[in-house]
Amino acid sequence: MVNYLVEEGHWGIYKNIENMPLERFDSFRTIINEFSTKVGHITQFSPVRGKRPFEHNNDKEEIIHSPRDDSFCKVVEGKLPAVIISKDTSKEEDALSINSSKAILSEFNAISIVNLFTPMARVLYDNVQQITSVRDKSVGVGLVHLLVNHYDTLSEVPISEVEQLLLTTRLAQKNSISELKAKYDTDKLTILHFFNIGEEAGASICHLHSQTYIYANEIGHGWTSLGFLSVPGFHKKLKNNLNYCLACELSKADKKVIDPIGQDLLVKERKVFENGEWLVVTAFSPERDGQLRIFPKRHVSQFIYLDDKQITDLAEALVYANKALDNFIKGTSPSMHLLQDRNILFRQDNIGYDSGMHMIIDIIPIQRIGGAEIMETYRIATMFPEDVAEIMRESLKETK
Ligand SMILES: [Zn+2]
Ligand SMILES: [Zn+2]
């Protein structure tokens, strides 16, 4: 192992506490919830991220194919150092390691590395112990999971490579979670797992990758997560049934599902794709036109608890869902302002909460929005998800 001279903040490594990222809560919309964590609007300040380069082409083709000379390609070719957490299904460095290395990785399918521009502090270089006592700072681990081969979008990746990406992600998350729990002596961690695909969706590098942020301090989560985490308990109470789970109900066959607040969820009409383990539907109440929602058919609360069969089938579901969304967006009118760029959000239970939440994956394309929608968790849509699903289903018949 070679320890390269680390620039302040790179890979989340800080020499000076004053430089560490921190967060502020909006006092007018923050509470302390039943799990004793703060919930509210959070702004995280990470000055080092302002200096990260954006590696994109400037041409505006419909689907951009970027050159294979980005930083991730260079890591894979052994030209740039990285802190490597996992290679396919084998564990490498610990989540809090300071060992970076250059290695040729072309024999693997997918790897997890520490995010060079990680938005939280991971390690204090000179005195690693001190970091546990820094209460008002953002601490944890920022990971990047990437395919060794260069692709721009999920739709173009062979399903077997997506599977390897998900497997290496599961391994890196599992190990990081247990290492952070031990290091910070806590059972509660906040985990954010997502893909940014395309420049407008926030990707600074075109080379397809997903990310995991795991926070080890008490930053809790925002109102959006609180919604997902609180609703299972509300449903159980309303239905007077401790075993009730709405996502389990709608994952069962094609039966009519009325949700606990009385809406017919039109599951059959919204279905786009399904396989043994996963159901892909257009969102009943979409945040952007074309939004897809993917449910595991068997109840599971977190990504790390997916078994191998669920991972294999998820790879297929993700590829078909992304192809269906590509096809739908190609056919929309310019007045809808829908872009091919998109975010994929893994909505799951917080570590140590046991909220009863059923994991959900949302695929949300970028679409121009206005003040009303920024003001509230509210959206004006132009198409019914049932009609969007019909277009997507038809398009997949031609794709297959
Ligand atoms: Zn690349
Ligand atoms: Zn469930």
pLDDT 10s digits, 94-124: 999 989 999 999 999 999 999 998 888 887 7
| Ligand in closest contact with the CA of 151 | 1
Q: If you measure from the C-alpha of residue 358 to the centroid of ligand 2, how many angstroms do you get, rounded to a whole number?
A: 5
The pLDDT value given to residue 218: 66
User: Pairing state of beta strands 110-114 and 84-87?
Assistant: antiparallel
Q: How far is the CA of 252 from the centre of ligand 2 (A)?
A: 10
Ligand nearest to the CA of 231: 2
Domain ranges of the chain: 10-46+53-215, 240-399
Distance (angstroms) between ligand 1 centre and the Cα of 118 equals: 19
Average pLDDT, the chain: 88
The predicted structure's pLDDT at residue 1:
47
| Alpha-carbon gap, residue 39 to 110, rounded angstroms | 34
User: Which comes out higher in pLDDT, residue 28 or 298?
Assistant: 298
Ligand of minimum distance to the alpha carbon of 68: 1
CA proximity to 390, closest of 271, 275, 283, 288: 271
What is the 3-state secondary structure of 5-37? CCCCCHHHEECCHHHCCEEEEEEEEEEECCCCC
CA distance 317 to 305: 18
Single-letter amino acid, residue 76: V
Which residue type does 366 have? I
pLDDT at 31 exceeding the cut of 80: yes
Dist. CA 19 → ligand 2 center (Å):
42
d(CA 39, ligand 1 centre) in Å: 37
Q: What percentage of the chain has pLDDT greater than the value 70?
A: 90
Q: Cβ(372)–Cβ(378) under 8 Å?
A: yes
Query: Closest-lying ligand to the alpha carbon of 297?
Result: 2
Closest Cα to residue 154, out of 336, 290, 340? Answer: 340
* Residue range 10-46+53-215 in CATH 3.30.428.10: yes
Residues in Cβ contact with 7 at an 8 Å cutoff, skipping those fewer than 6 apart: none
Please give the CATH number for the structural domain made up of 240-399.
3.30.428.10
Amino acid letter, residue 346: F
Neighbours of ion ligand 2 (CB under 5 A): 245, 247-248, 299, 358
Q: Which helix (H) or strand (E) holds 177?
A: helix 159-184
Statement: residue 56 has pLDDT above 70: no
DSSP 345-394: EEE-PPBTT---PPPEEEEEEEE---HHHHHTT----SS-HHHHHHHHHH
**Residue 126: its pLDDT value, please?**
58
- Residue 165 CA to ligand 1 center (angstroms) comes to 15
Asked if the domains 10-46+53-215 and 240-399 are classified in one and the same CATH topology, the answer is yes
Euclidean distance between CA atoms 146 and 149, whole angstroms: 9
CA 22 / ligand 2 centre spacing (Å): 35
Q: How far is the CA of 70 from the centre of ligand 1 (A)?
A: 5
The number of the ligand nearest the C-alpha atom of 247 reads 2
Q: Which of 290, 361, 364 is nearest to 330 (CA)?
A: 290
User: Hey, which residues does 279 pair with through a beta bridge?
Assistant: 274, 295
Give residue 103 CA to ligand 2 midpoint distance, Å: 42
**Which ligand has the shortest distance to the CA of 249?**
2
The confidence band for 139, taking pLDDT boundaries of 50, 70 and 90, is confident
Identify the band that residue 133 occupies on the pLDDT scale cut at 50, 70 and 90: low
Residue for token pair 């939440």 = 357
CA angle 102-194-78, nearest 5°? 10
Ligand nearest to the CA of 232: 2
Are 300 and 306 within 8 A, CB to CB? yes
Say if residue 22's pLDDT is above 50: yes
DSSP type of residue 125: S
pLDDT of 132: 56
Which of 211, 168, 209 lies closest to 191, judged by CA? 211
Q: What value does the CA radius of gyration of the chain take, rounded to a whole number of Å?
A: 21
Q: Which ligand is nearest to the CA of 80?
A: 1
CA 121/CA 135 separation, integer angstroms: 12
Output the CA 246–ligand 2 centroid distance in Å: 7
Location of structure tokens 């964590």:
37
Name the strand (E) or helix (H) holding 74: helix 71-76
Cα dihedral 13, 19, 20, 25, rounded to 10, equals: -160
At 222 the pLDDT is 82
Question: What's the confidence (pLDDT) of residue 118?
Answer: 84
Please tell me the least confidently modeled range out of 251-265, 277-291, 302-316: 251-265
d(CA 384, CA 283): 10
**Nearest-angstrom CA–CA distance, 51 and 204:** 12
> Which one of the ligands is nearest to 246 CA?
2
User: Quick one: pLDDT band at residue 60, thresholds 50, 70, 90?
Assistant: very low
Shortest CA distance to 281 belongs to which of 145, 163, 384? 384
